[in-house]
Structure 1
Amino acid sequence: MAISCGSVNCMIFHYNLYMKDEHLHFISERSPHLKRLVMPAWNRITKLGICQAIQRWQELESLTMPTIGHPPYIMEEIARSCKNFTELKIMGSFDLLFASAISQYLPKLKVLSLRCSKVTMGALLCLLTSMEYLEILNISHCLLLDITANGKRQVIHDLDDQTLEKASRLREFHYCQSRSCTACQRMMVDEGIMRWYRYEDWFWRQDEVRSLDLQDYGKLFDAGCERLTSVD
């Protein structure tokens, strides 16, 4: 961080790196021009810790984050501090509370990926009806859930015509619910909460949205190290 002289504009953390407030404080103080942050795990970071970091990252445009219990506070902080923010990826689960928070605080969001997440139909419809500026939405390999008349949850395997019509206004709408798709099968086996550690290290870095796909970035080891540390 010292060598960069504060010029770092993109940081990608592996989902197995669990940072704490002090780590985030150290990093955010030394990267004031950060534009993209990929941090799939922050369950050891407090509300105050992440909000203080966001306040320092006023140039932030893109964030990949995990599911959190109360999303409105982070959406509000992004709206207040990051005026150029346009791109968000959620890894985990996505409900109506999360969708409403995005709609309320980030109404001009352009790109949203929920790839391999557990998503309620209420949340999806909220996005499609209220996010006027949304251009790209990715719900590929998501476990889509709806509430039946008797209050039970049911898995939705095919979107109805009304939902597809709402999605047709988007410039890009990525959707896959194929029983023959490996990623969709994994979502079903994992009951909607992807156990990334079970699968290839490249799997969590993929995204159908080109600007969010990490390719080889975010690897813990290069190919040589992986060979040295592999267990036969």
Structure 2
Amino acid sequence: MLEGLESLTVPCVTCYSYMLEAIGKNCRNFSELKVLCPLDIEFAESLIKHIPKLKILSLRCSLVYTEALRCILKGLEYLEVLNLSHSMFFAELDHEGAETSNILIQRGGEIPAAMDVSRLERLVACQGETSCFLCQLMLENPSVGGRGYRFQEAMWREDEISSLAH
């Protein structure tokens, strides 16, 4: 029944691997995904494994781990458009460099240094976190990015990528 599915907007999902596997097996023309949950390394690896030909990905207002983003940029060879608007970027490092805790390293959609996004046809990112309402909301309460307002229809239906705005 999923055969014709080409695009999907998904709120926070705990069993994303099963969902991505089902899409990968059954939806030959699937090319666009908008997720409303944190992008960690496990999610990134599952996305690459099950939907390697993904062309458009929106991580709007998401908590994004830099290693997961690096993995996506390297592993999704067909990725053309990436939306990182109003996102917050985290590293999983403590003060000694051990991977134990989450540290905010960038905010407001600024792309972390050393991320190669040159091969993308289009990168969407917020241009000014100090003047952007959504960036300020994410900074004041990062948990909003994982739940809360995202489930209000007016917010999760919006996207800077027109094909993902519902």
TM-score norm. by structure 2 comes to 0.85
Provide Cα deviations, 1:170-199, integer angstroms capped at 9, x if missing partner: 011112261321111111222143321798
Contact between 2:7 and 2:33, CA under 8 Å: does it hold in 1?
yes
Query: 113, 122, 139: which is aligned to 2:67?
Result: 122
Q: Which has the larger radius of gyration?
A: 1
The percent identity for this pair of structures is: 37
Q: Note the residue ranges of structure 2 that are not aligned, 5 or more in a row.
A: none
Computed over aligned residues only, the root mean square deviation of the Cα atoms, in angstroms, reads: 2.0
Matched residue, 1:208:
160
Matched residue, 1:172:
122
Distance 2:49 2:88 in 1: 24
Letter aligned with residue 210 of structure 1: S
Distance 2:150 2:59 in 1: 19
Letter aligned with residue 211 of structure 1: S
Corresponding residue pairs, total: 156
SS at match of 2:9: strand
Corresponding position: 1:147 with 2:92: yes
Distance 1:100 1:198 in 2: 25
- Displaced runs of 4+ in structure 1, greater than 3 A? 158-161
Q: Note the residue ranges of structure 1 that are not aligned, 5 or more in a row.
A: 1-55, 215-232
Distance 2:161 2:144 in 1: 20
Distance 1:196 1:108 in 2: 30
Corresponding position: 1:193 with 2:138: no
TM-score norm. by structure 1 comes to 0.62
Query: 174, 184, 188: which is aligned to 2:135?
Result: 184
In 2 relative to 1, CA 95–175 (structure 1 residues): closer, same or farther, beyond 3 Å?
A: same
Provide Cα deviations, 1:127-161, integer angstroms capped at 9, x if missing partner: 01111000001111112111221433211224344
In 2 relative to 1, CA 207–99 (structure 1 residues): closer, same or farther, beyond 3 Å?
A: same
Letter aligned with residue 105 of structure 2: I
SS at match of 1:83: coil
In 2 relative to 1, CA 197–136 (structure 1 residues): closer, same or farther, beyond 3 Å?
A: closer
Provide Cα deviations, 1:12-71, integer angstroms capped at 9, x if missing partner: xxxxxxxxxxxxxxxxxxxxxxxxxxxxxxxxxxxxxxxxxxxx1210000100222232
